[in-house]
């Protein structure tokens, strides 16, 4: 079983839709949860970071962590064509030192 | 802040040649740098972790003699793909970790696309 599972998609939505991206994980020791956005042929850029359980909002983006279910989500409101990218979840913990565990990434296309 | 650069951004080489990729943290000192490879439509696969002044720690299945990593300073790490073959063609991404942060956030470079003919 992989440490982090993420549906690769692809996911295609119309402009303005609410997008829900999800990851599940197996190791309950993970404490830090990140979402990265990666445009084609570019390096990942950090979108959201959450420590432990709870919600975090930043503009049109909301990250949720449910540690009891080992489930994290990223919601994108009022999606825009510029949101079209691959979204990677990542997680870490003190036991892992600096190492991040990545999901496979979900490819999102927002259609104008 | 926290910018990481990679050079070159793209390289095409013949089979059997060696290729060096540089990763630099431009505005901070990185105690740890990571090297990943990414195949099309797949996630990042960690190859190795390198700390300044010490030998890199390679992930299982990654040949340390083929992928040479040097981390000579707090702002520069290099990955050399020795005797490259077509199966080494991939997107190589480095990241640098800013020490002292809550979770040692990683900042990623823009990646280097290697094509071996």
Contacts of B106 in chain A (CB under 8 A): 98, 100
Tell me the C-alpha distance between A35 and A56, whole Å.
12
Res. B2: pLDDT tops 90? no
Tell me the C-alpha distance between B75 and B70, whole Å.
12
Q: Which region among A2-6, B51-55, B105-109 has the lowest average model confidence (pLDDT)?
A: B51-55
Task: List, as one string, the DSSP characters of chain A.
Answer: --SEEE----EEEETT--EEEEEEES-TT--EEEEEEE-TTS--EEEEEEESSEEEEETTEEEEEETTTTEEEEEESS--GGG-EEEEEEEE-GGGTT--EE---EEEEEE-
Res. B104: pLDDT tops 70? no
**pLDDT tens, B7-17?**
999 999 999 99
In the prediction, which pLDDT does B108 show?
A: 92
CB A105, CB A6: distance < 8 Å: yes
CB B113, CB B9: distance < 8 Å: yes
Q: Which residue of A has its CA nearest to B35?
A: A99
Where residue A98 falls among pLDDT bands split at 50, 70, 90?
A: low
Mutation for A interface: B44, B52, B109, most A CBs within 10 A = B44
Contacts of B113 in chain A (CB under 8 A): 41
Say what percent of chain B tops pLDDT 70.
Answer: 94
Instruction: Enumerate residues 81 to 100 of chain A having a beta carbon within 8 A of any beta carbon in chain B.
Output: 88, 92, 97-100
Tell me the C-alpha distance between A23 and A104, whole Å.
9
**pLDDT tens, A9-56?**
899 999 999 999 999 999 998 989 999 999 988 899 999 989 888 899
**pLDDT tens, B64-88?**
999 999 988 889 999 999 999 999 9
Tell me the C-alpha distance between B95 and A65, whole Å.
24
Candidates B76, B83, B35, B106; CA nearest to A88 is B106
Res. B100: pLDDT tops 70? no
**Cβ pair B109:A43 closer than 8 A:** yes
**Cβ pair A44:B97 closer than 8 A:** no
Tell me if residue B87 falls in helix, strand or coil: helix
Strands A71-76 and A19-25: antiparallel
Q: Which residue of B has its CA nearest to A107?
A: B41
Candidates A33, A39, A36; CA nearest to A72 is A33
Res. A1: pLDDT tops 70? no
Q: Name the residue facing B110 among A6, A36, A42 (closest C-beta).
A: A42
Higher pLDDT, A87 or B28: A87
Tokens of A23: 């990851």
A39 at interface of B, judged by CB pairs closer than 8 A: no
């Amino acid at each position: 079983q992989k440490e982090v599972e993420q549906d690769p998609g692809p996911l295609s939505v119309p402009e303005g839709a609410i997008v829900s991206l999800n990851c599940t994980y197996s190791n309950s020791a993970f404490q830090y949860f990140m979402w990265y956005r990666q445009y084609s042929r570019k390096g990942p850029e950090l979108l959201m970071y959450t420590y432990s359980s709870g919600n975090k909002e930043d503009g049109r983006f909301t990250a949720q962590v449910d540690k009891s279910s080992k489930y994290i989500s990223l919601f994108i409101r009022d999606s825009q064509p510029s949101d079209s990218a691959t979204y990677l979840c990542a997680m870490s913990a003190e036991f892992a030192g600096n190492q991040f565990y990545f999901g496979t990434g979900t490819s999102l296309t927002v259609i104008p | 802040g926290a910018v990481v650069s990679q050079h070159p951004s793209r390289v095409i080489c013949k089979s059997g040649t060696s290729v060096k990729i540089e990763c630099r943290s431009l505005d901070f000192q990185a105690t740890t740098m990571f090297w990943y490879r990414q195949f099309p439509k797949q996630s990042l696969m960690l190859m190795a972790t390198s700390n300044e002044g010490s030998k890199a720690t390679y992930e299982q299945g990654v040949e340390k003699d083929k992928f040479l990593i040097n981390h000579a300073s707090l702002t520069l790490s290099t990955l050399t793909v020795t005797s490259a073959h077509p199966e080494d063609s991939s997107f190589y991404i480095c990241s640098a970790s800013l020490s002292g942060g809550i979770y040692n956030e990683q900042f990623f470079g823009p990646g280097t696309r290697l094509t071996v003919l």
